[in-house]
Each structure stands twice: as structure tokens, then as C-alpha cells.
Amino acid sequence: MEMMSNDLLIKNARVWPSADAEVIEDASILIKDGELIRIGKFRARANTLIDVDGCLVMPGFVQTYLHLCQTIFRGIAEDMPLLPWLKNYIWPMEASHDPASIRASAILSCAELIRSGTTAFMSMETVRHTNAVFEAVQETGLIGVICHCLMDETGGYKPLTVELEESLAECDVLLDHWGDHERLQLGVAPRFALSCSGDNMRETCDYAREKGLLLHTHASEQIPEVELVKERTGLLNIEYLHSVGLTGPDVGLAHCVHTEPHEREILVETDTRILHCPSANLKLASGIAPIPEYMKAGLTVSIGADGAPCNNRFDMFMEMREAGLIQKPRLRAQALPVADIVRMATLEGARTLRQEKEMGTLEKGKRANLIFLSPDRFHVISSKDPATNVVYSHEASDVMLTMVDGEILYEDGRLTTIDEAALRKTVVEQRQKLEERAF
Ligand SMILES: [Zn+2]
């Protein structure tokens, strides 16, 4: 019988180590200092014992495309196409943020992410107050790549225009403060092809690569956007982003709904990461991204909910379900099998964050980022296949526990790092003040 010091033992679990593994029935997991020490059928004693009574224990979800700063805008404008929606509602609200309102939006986002089983994410914030987002996320215990957004005069929206020098100086300050944080990293996000000049895009890529930071932007979400890029640059969206350096394994391109075959070749040749947002693509009538084609071509594709104003939830279960359903009438019923979808939501997400050696599966030596799913809900029982259940049966309310680095962030309906009552009160107050400032 193994005896360990400050550690945690999970027992009586149906452990599902990864999308491609078999479930280990009646298994245990030993965790020490937030790291997975042992997984399988064994007996041990530990300081903390969690008997999960048959719950499915799997890797936490990794969402690679979110806007935490937009969550407090939820419901601000519905049933509108992308460009007028952005210009008339989202950008005015973003430009009106202050540290208090963006903090409330970030914590609200984390509350929903934790409750619905997401343990790590990448987000694109706005052009100011990114430090307040870092501070907020740090308190919640989540793992995140938080990208500072860049827009210069090219973006054509003065209230969100920041000179490149000032933006990169802000990144320097953020790096000084958060550069060696154990859970949070800075990323850099020129908003989209038309938000910054070509020279500024190139300089931004050089800066990010010099600092070893991830890059992230929107691409080919809607046809009017693609046409506008063509009109302004003479190139198609992916061609243009490639010409300014925004392709490569350190680049996450959100959406990629409308791409030409030769653009897909550029994505494959450069091993650029695709961030798939099924709900946002449907809600803004953008279209259906050719995800099975991207995956068949060997591209790393992961999933994200985008922003709450165009989703309107951060629910990875819903995103996985939709990712599967939308491809079937487009291609065939076999398109995008369930294991592929779960892999997108876990390991491929981790790979996109360059953290596949630390998370995305449950393996010895990796971070203890895991979720417990209730085994006895009516919409699940009788099916024992984890992938099918997770993609087409389970829902966010089935999450019983969320753990990051061995720390329990959510258990039995209660967040442990966020004061829920205070959050509800603050969000309502800050939303009102924000709307008064914006409109
Ligand atoms: Zn977006």
C-alpha cells in the first residue's frame, strides 16, 4: 500500500484518459502538487480522498477562441450580420470598457467556463485594460493565453485605434508582469486583416516571435469581409495574412469558413492552427467551415465559443454537438466522428496553446486538469461509450467537478474561487454603466 504526503486520490472512477483511449473502469488517479502521478487500477492512501462513485473522469476542455471582454455585452444585439454588428454594437462597448467593467466580464466568463468543464483557454481581449483581465483570470484558477488586441487607424474605428508603438509597449508591460506566471501567458492578436496596416502586422509578428508569444486573429469568417480584404489588398484573406507573416504553428486563425483550395494549401504548408466556432458561424450566418477537409489535410483544428454576444454561451458540450451535426448534411452521416470532436476539444486545443505535453489527456506527469461527469443522468444512462455521451448526450450541468493543477475550482454546484452572489451583483451594475458610457 503506497503512502504519500500532500496528495489527492480519486477513486471509483470511470477514467477516460483521452479521446483515443478506452475507459478504465473502477480506476483511481493519484495527484501530487497538481501533477498526475498514477492512473489505473491500484490502491493507495492519500491526505485527500475523493470517491467519485462511478463518474466519468476525463481531461478538461481547452477552448482556443473566446473574447472574455465581450461576455458582459451578452444579448446587446441579435440577428445581425458581422460587420454592422461589430461597428454599431461590439466596438462601441469594447471602447467604453474600464478596468472594473472588463474585470466583471472576465470573471463572469471564467465562472461559466469552469462550471461547464473548460480548464484552459485562449482569448482575444480588446486594445486596452488587458492587465485587468489577467488579474481577474488569475483569481479564478483557470489556465489561459490572454491575447492583447491590436487595432490601428486602418481599422477605421477611432475609439479603438491605438498606435502600434503604444500597443507593443503595453505588451512589454504585460510581459514584465505576467511573463513567468505558472498558468497565464500573454498572446498578441491583431484583430483581423483590415484592423492593422500590413507593416504593423509584420512588425507585430516579428515582436511576437522575438518574445516567443502566440499570435491569434480572425480570418475568412464572412464573404463581405473576404471581399473587403480583396478590395483593399488585392489578395484573398489567407493569402494576405500569409504575406504579412500571420501563418504558422504559432498562429491561431479563428473561423476560416470561406477559404479557396490554394489558401488551404498555404494553411497546410505553414501548419497554421484553425480555431473552429460552430455556434458563432451559424448565429452570424457566416456559413459552415470545411473542418473535415482541414483535418483530412492534417491541420490542427480546435474549438472555441467565440464571444457571448454571438453565441451566447461558453458551453463546450454545445459546441462539440454542433460541430458534429453541421457537417453531416453538408457531407455525409459519417463526417466528423465523435472521437475526432473530443480530440479537437481537448488535445488539439492543448496543441494549439503549445501545451500538449502538459494537458489535453490524462497521463503520468501531466497537469491534473480534469472534469467529473455525472454517470446517471436520464439523457446519458444506457450508453457506456464516453465519446458518444460527451458529444451527443452530456450537457454542461452534468459537470460535477472541475479541477485545474489539482485544485478544485467547482464542486457540486458551487464555484470555489469566485463569489457567485457578488459576481451577479457586480455584473448587473457594470453592464448598466458600460451601456451608459457606450451609447
Ligand atoms: Zn471574434
Q: pLDDT tens across 54-78, in order? A: 999 999 999 999 999 999 999 999 9
Residues 68 and 215 in one domain: yes
Q: How far is the CA of 46 from the centre of ligand 1 (A)?
A: 44
CA 218 to centroid of ligand 1, rounded, Å = 6
The predicted structure's pLDDT at residue 156: 83
> Residue 311 C-alpha to ligand 1 middle, in angstroms?
10
For ligand 1, the distance from its centroid to the CA atom of residue 309, given in whole angstroms, is 10
Q: Ligand 1: distance of its center to the CA of 374 in Å?
A: 32
Q: Are 31 and 137 contained in the same domain?
A: no
Bond before 200 cis per omega within 30 degrees: no
pLDDT of the residue at 371:
98
Tell me how far the alpha carbon of residue 426 lies from the centroid of ligand 1, in angstroms.
24
In the reported structure, the alpha carbon of residue 307 is separated from the centroid of ligand 1 by a whole-number distance in angstroms of: 6
User: Do 100 and 68 reside in the same domain of the chain?
Assistant: yes
Which protein residues have a CB closer than 5 Å to ligand 1 (ion)? 306
Residue 238 sits in the same domain as residue 105 = yes
Position 314 in a domain:
yes
**What spacing in Å lies between the alpha carbon of 82 and ligand 1's midpoint?**
10
Q: How far is the CA of 184 from the centre of ligand 1 (A)?
A: 20
Q: What is the number of structural domains in the chain?
A: 2
Give the domain range for residue 51.
Answer: 7-59+364-415
Residue 432, domain member (yes or no): no
- Position 83 scores a pLDDT of 85
Q: What is the amino acid identity at position 2?
A: E
What's the pLDDT at 382?
87
Q: How far is the CA of 273 from the centre of ligand 1 (A)?
A: 15
Residues of the chain with pLDDT under 50: 1-4
Cell of 363: 497521463
pLDDT of residue 1: 44
pLDDT value of residue 361: 98
